[in-house]
């Protein structure tokens, strides 16, 4: 699997993403600067976490208009897989690859903690290595992770099996106390119509090895490698 990680001014989890991709695929991904206008020939594009443009104006809003994003959208249109994590989720949502918006956390504070999620749909290379309904734990680290979309869009996302991950309690139960940011329907990650684009707030790349004390994120990368190699 060949992958590219897009780097914006203010990206800060690109190293985590590069390490997770390299560990899973055995190949170091390309790092592509936001001002570039061309992408190498890749199977996967990762838009990493961080504070692109300092989150000034609105999280992801400025990065969505970076020169490279035109090419990212074009590749996504051709079916190249795109994974947006945290700020990357915000950016690809602002860029129109996914519906909805990421608002300030309901508690108004930045949150860094490990959350429990349920894998809702395994019909994608991102989630193929999980079982439907599997309970996984990933860390979150964000200030603006409160996913919102209008009722009709949410209904469509739910109806089309496009909710990838949902925040739940430790036993898999729906529990508002375990929704860390107030997201509608406790949505943690969503797919596009063709399930070739995944945006998610939690960080699978920080849960891939013994050092992290958690390897629940590893199947996500392994699944991509298996599907795209």
Partner 1 sequence: MSEPAKNNEPKVTAELAATYGVTADEYKLILELLGREPTFTELGIVSVMWSEHCSYKSSKVWLMKLPTKGPQVICGPGENAGVVDIGDGDAVIFKMESHNHPSFIEPYQGAATGVGGILRDVFTMGARPIANMNALRFGAPDHPKTRHLVSGVVAGIGGYGNCVGVPTVGGETNFHAAYNGNILVNAMTVGVAKADRIFYSAAAGVGNPVVYVGSKTGRDGIHGATMASAEFSEDSEEKRPTVQVGDPFTEKLLIEACLELMATDTIVAIQDMGAAGLTSSSVEMAGKGGLGIELVLDDVPMREEGMTPYEIMLSESQERMLIILKPGSEAQARAIFEKWELDFAVIGHLTDTGRLVIKMHGKTWCDMPIAPVSNASPVYERPWEPTPARDEVPDSVWDTWTLPLGETLEKLVACPDLASKRWIWEQYDSLVGGDTRFMSGQADAAVVRVPGQTKAVAITTDCTPRYCLADPVRGGAQAVAEAWRNLTAVGAKPLAITDNMNFGNPEKPRIMGQFVGAIQGMTEACTALDFPVVSGNVSLYNETNGEAILPTPAIGGVGILPDAMLAVGVAFRNEGDVILAVGETTGHIGQSLFLREILGIEDGPPPPVDLAVEKRNGDFVRGLILDGLVVSSHDVSDGGLLVAIAEMAMAGGVGAHLTGFDGQHAKMLFGEDQGRYVLAVRPDVAAKVEARAKAAGVPLSVLGRTEGTALSGRGGEMISIERLRKANEGWLPGYMAAAE
Catalytic residues: 86, 203, 205
d(CA 218, CA 197): 18
Closest by CA to 107, choosing from 144, 156, 70, 160, is 144
d(CA 75, CA 202): 24
Taking the complex as a whole, the smallest distance from the CB of residue 152 to partner 1 amounts, in Å, to: 34
> Smaller CB distance to partner 1: residue 9 or 161?
9
d(CA 139, CA 180): 11
Tokens in use for 2? 């060949």
> Smaller CB distance to partner 1: residue 20 or 42?
20
Task: For residue 216, give the 3-state DSSP assignment.
Answer: coil
Taking the complex as a whole, the smallest distance from the CB of residue 184 to partner 1 amounts, in Å, to: 22
Taking the complex as a whole, the smallest distance from the CB of residue 195 to partner 1 amounts, in Å, to: 27
> Smaller CB distance to partner 1: residue 142 or 166?
142
Q: Applying CB under 8 A, which residues contact partner 1? A: 9-13, 15-16, 19-20, 49-51, 53-56, 109-113, 139, 141, 143, 203, 205-206, 210-213
Cβ–Cβ < 8 Å for 180, 203: no
> Smaller CB distance to partner 1: residue 74 or 112?
112
Q: What is the dihedral of CA 7, 50, 166, 113, to 10 degrees?
A: 140
Taking the complex as a whole, the smallest distance from the CB of residue 62 to partner 1 amounts, in Å, to: 11
d(CA 178, CA 111): 12
**What does DSSP say about strands 146-148 and 197-200: parallel, antiparallel, or unpaired?**
unpaired
């Amino acid at each position: 699997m060949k992958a590219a990680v897009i780097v914006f001014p203010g990206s800060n989890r690109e190293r985590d993403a590069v390490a997770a991709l390299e560990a899973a695929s055995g190949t170091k991904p390309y790092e592509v600067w936001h001002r570039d206008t061309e992408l190498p020939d890749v199977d996967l594009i990762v838009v990493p976490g961080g504070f692109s443009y300092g989150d000034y104006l609105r999280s992801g809003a400025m990065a969505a208009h970076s020169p490279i994003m035109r090419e990212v959208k074009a590749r996504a249109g051709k079916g190249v897989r795109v994974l947006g994590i945290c700020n990357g989720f915000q950016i690809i949502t602002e860029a129109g690859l996914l519906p909805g918006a990421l608002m300030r956390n309901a508690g108004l504070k930045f949150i860094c903690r490990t959350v429990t999620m349920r894998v809702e749909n395994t019909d994608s290379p991102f989630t193929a290595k999980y079982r439907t309904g599997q309970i996984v734990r990933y860390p979150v680290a964000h200030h603006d992770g409160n996913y919102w979309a209008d009722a009709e869009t949410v209904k469509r996302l739910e109806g089309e099996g496009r909710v990838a991950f949902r925040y739940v309690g430790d036993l898999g139960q729906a529990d508002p106390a375990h929704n860390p940011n107030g997201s509608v329907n406790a949505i943690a990650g969503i797919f596009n119509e063709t399930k070739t684009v995944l945006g998610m707030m939690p960080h699978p790349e920080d849960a891939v090895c013994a050092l992290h004390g958690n390897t629940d994120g590893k199947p996500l990368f392994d699944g991509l490698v298996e599907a795209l190699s």
